[in-house]
Structure 1
Amino acid sequence: MVMAALPLRADTLWLKNGDRVTGEVVEKTASHVRIKTDYAGEIAVAAGRVERVALEAPPEPEPEPKPAPARAATSSIDRPFTATGGIDVAFEYEHSAADTQELELDVRQRIEAGRWRHTWRAGYHREYRDGKRRKNDWRLSYAPERFFTSQRFWQGRVSTYRDWNEALERRFSLGLGPGYQLWDNERGAFSLSALLTRNRYEYARRHNETFHSGVLQWQFNRYLWNQLFEVYANGRAGQALSSSTSFLLASKTGLRYPLTDWASLQLSVETDWVKNSVEDLNDTTYNLGLGLNW
């Protein structure tokens, strides 16, 4: 803080010989008067030489400005508006004893504002071998999260899945439950949530089933080596509360390497496993492709 010095008081010593001394009287006794001047410093004048002393009232300091009224502090729970997302594309063509064409698309979008965080995900997978379709499926999910503290939140989730080549053709789930944000900073984030989910499975050659399950979800990403690489892992594992479908697992784990501010090279492993009394679904897909980020 910089403070401006106040000028010296204009006190005046009238001397018996007609001279006068102007400054600030700092001491006055029966033997002398000590006065501080701005041209000769502090000097002492014998009291016998002083005819009279004229003291000026000290200047009043300027009043300090009143502080502006404090604004209401923004809650640490409230998050600034941010929108991030991207799309990962992997395409493979193999010409050998069997011609194989495979395409994998994964779209992600996350929006944060205030106490809300919204996450959308969509994916499509297709594979042809010798002109015959072997895999063809798509998936879509949306998860809103409402934060009550900087770490605790309540999450909802709705998802749907369609497969044209498996006995389990359609899946739909709707869940709700609490979550906990372990950390969320510039180096990455990690959150867990536990949902009670209602599911509906539709099969190609048997009756449909509706059941409840307990599901544990995780979302993790971490930037390594001065943000040169990003490691991420998202998934959900659940145990059905019935004897028909006993266990389910869906996860995607990968590594991204930034090529530019908006493009990255990505390598990932995706697992989809459903274990039930009819047949087990166990798909694992390895992807190497290009990611576009915004």
Structure 2
Amino acid sequence: MPPRISTLLFTPFHGLAPCFSVLLCWLVSSPLWADTLWLENGDRITGKVIEKTATRWRVDTGYAGEIDIDAERVERVALDEPPAPSIKVANALGFATQPKPPDPETAREKAASSPTERPFTASGGVDIALEYDHSTADTQELELDVRQRIETGHWRHSWRAGYHREYRDGKRRKNDWHLAYSPKRFFAPQRFWQGRLSSNRDWGEALERRFSIGAGPGYQLWDNERGAFSLSALLTRNRYEYANVGDENFQAGVLQWQFNRYLWDQLFEVYANGRAGRALSRGTSFLLDTESGLRYPFTEWASLQMSVETDWVENSVEDLNDTTYNLGIGLNW
């Protein structure tokens, strides 16, 4: 082949050789993997997770540099890392190998689905409602409710105490108090055994005293930072003391529930607690004790509390049916 023809044929390929070399190096060095973060507003961030802490994710997007994302805004994470070199090779090349960042959603679900073991925590509060009505009859009313909850290991303990007093034209119309203690012992992530001990005293009703003790199994449907919901079935032994007739002792089957839910980024708390039962005797046939309400926190220790309480007992002596509406201030700790 003439020299000129040979030069003309091979010169184009010779000029493209550096381009092919650069392209080949870019393909080899560019990653074929990416991490993906889905945010709660529907956005999706793709890049390389380079740092993960309890409060943030740091992602190298490549197209927008490194960005920090609030960990609470991350709904789901998919990490896709390439095969890591051996420790000897990594040390020889000067790379520092780091463990894979944990998925916060997976850790959150694991903690929520396994409420059995917990460190010691204590929380509680007091709700105070005052009312004064000056009209044809002067009415003064006080509602006081104290609650305390302790969690440690497999145990959950809750105490409740309340006092209600009402005066009208200087005469006492209502004066009652109640106490309750309820322990729970978890033997599985969602199953527990619960007891309950309660006492009521009312000076204005024919049913003056009530005492109840019982125990039974329960099931925790969920328990996480957004709220909790549990159901339990108790077999109780009850003693009712009346003002004008003899005492009554009976057994009852009781269904008990506890529910609370935080709404709008924990701006409001909705709760509903109560128990309903039917006696295993002809004297007292039905009993219902419920409390539903709403709490709006002003600060970390003060809140506005609104609730409705129902106390209903059907028996052969005199039915009891009280409904109380409360609006007051709550102090929390």
State the identity as a percent: 78
Q: Alignment partner for residue 219 of structure 1, among 249, 258, 263?
A: 258
SS at match of 1:245: coil
- Kindly report structure 1 stretches of 4+ aligned residues shifted beyond 3 Å: none
User: What does residue 220 of structure 2 align with?
Assistant: 181
1:105 aligns with 2:105: no
Aligned position for 1:23: none
Q: 1:245-264 alignment to 2 at 5 Å?
A: 245-264=284-303
Q: Partners of 1:244 and 1:273 in 2: how far apart?
A: 15
Structure 2 letter corresponding to 1:191 = S
Distance in 2 separating the partners of 1:188 and 1:152: 17
Instruction: Indicate the structure with greater strand content.
Output: 1
* 8 Å Cα contact 2:166/2:175 also seen in 1: yes
Contact 2:268 2:297 in 1 (8 A): yes
Q: In 2, distance between residues paired with 1:208 and 1:5? A: 86
Q: How many residues align?
A: 228
C-alpha deviations, 1:216-240, integer Å up to 9, x for none? 1111000001111000011111100
Distance of 1:114 and 1:6 partners within structure 2? 47
1:114 counterpart residue number: 153
Q: Which aligned pairs between 1:22-33 and structure 2 lie closer than 5 A?
A: none
Q: Which has the larger radius of gyration?
A: 1
Counterpart check, 1:203 vs 2:242: yes
Three-state SS of the structure 2 residue aligned to 1:166 is: coil
C-alpha change, 1:216 and 1:82, in structure 2 (3 Å) is: same
Aligned mates of 2:230, 2:120 — CA distance in 1: 19
Cα separation, 1, equivalents of 2:155 and 2:244: 42
Deviations 1:113-152 (A, max 9, x none): 0000001000000000111111000000001110011110
Q: Which runs of 5+ in 2 are unaligned?
A: 1-83, 95-110
2:329 equivalent to 1:290? yes
Change (3 A) 1:142 1:96: same
Unpaired runs of 5+ in structure 1?
A: 8-73
Match of 2:196 among 149, 157, 166: 157
Q: CA deviation at 1:5?
A: 1.8
Corresponding residue SS for 1:5: helix
Q: Which residue of 1 aligns with 2:69?
A: none
Q: TM-score, structure 1 length as denominator? A: 0.75
Give 1:77's match in structure 2, choosing from 100, 105, 116: 116
Q: Distance in 1 between matches of 2:93 and 2:272?
A: 66
* Counterpart among 270, 275, 285 of residue 236 in structure 1: 275
**Residues of 2 paired with 1:90 and 1:76: CA distance?**
34
Q: In 2, Cα distance between the equivalents of 1:6 and 1:123?
A: 70
Letter of the 1:266 counterpart: Q
Take 2:184 and 2:115, find their aligned partners in 1: how far apart are those partners?
16
Summarize deviations over 1:186-238 as a string: whole Å, max 9, x none: 00000011000000000000000100000011110000011110000111111
1:143 aligns with 2:182: yes
Partner of 2:285, secondary structure, is strand
Q: CA deviation at 1:4?
A: 2.6
Query: CA offset at residue 76 of structure 1?
Result: 6.0
